[in-house]
């Protein structure tokens, strides 16, 4: 298997190198994350945790934008998150510095889909 660093040198679409991080969470927090992630369509809590971290980074760092994280966005697409929700989340978190919950964005997306049908 070719290491990611070597592949990236010759690829038109380089991959971001991800490193594992270990954190301790209370059982209550894990239960809430599991319930929320399943409600929002995430298969595991890892994607939801990443989303929360990204939203916090967007709020705290003006020079950072969720739009630059292609790997994260592509993962959301593969998990079935609509492009509308992704686009709206990027605009809201980057331009307004105001974070809306993913469930709120999904409800708006579903309402728009029902209106258009």
Pairwise CA distance, residues 71 & 19, whole Å: 13
Residue 2 has pLDDT above 80, yes or no: no
Question: 54, 19 in Cβ contact below 8 A?
Answer: no
Residues 91-106 as b/e (b if ≥16 CB within 10 A, e otherwise) read ebbeeeeebeebeebb
Question: Is the pLDDT score of 104 beyond 70?
Answer: no
Please indicate, yes or no, whether the overall pTM of this predicted structure exceeds 0.75.
no
Please, which pLDDT band fits residue 98 given cuts at 50, 70 and 90?
Answer: very low
**C-alpha pair distances (Å), 18 with each of 40, 43, 71:** 23, 19, 10
What are 78-90's pLDDT values in tens digits? 888 888 888 777 7
Quick one: pLDDT band at residue 59, thresholds 50, 70, 90? confident
């Amino acid at each position: 298997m070719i290491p990611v660093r070597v592949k990236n040198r010759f690829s038109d679409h380089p991959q971001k190198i991800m490193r594992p991080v270990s954190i301790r969470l209370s059982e209550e927090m894990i239960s809430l994350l599991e319930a929320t992630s399943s409600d929002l369509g995430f298969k595991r809590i890892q994607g939801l945790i990443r989303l929360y971290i990204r939203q916090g980074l967007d709020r705290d760092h003006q020079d950072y934008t969720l739009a630059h994280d292609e790997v994260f966005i592509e993962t959301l697409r593969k998990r079935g998150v609509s492009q509308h929700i992704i686009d709206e989340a990027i605009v809201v978190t980057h331009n307004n510095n105001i974070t809306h919950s993913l469930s709120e964005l999904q409800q708006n997306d579903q309402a728009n889909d029902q209106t258009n049908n």
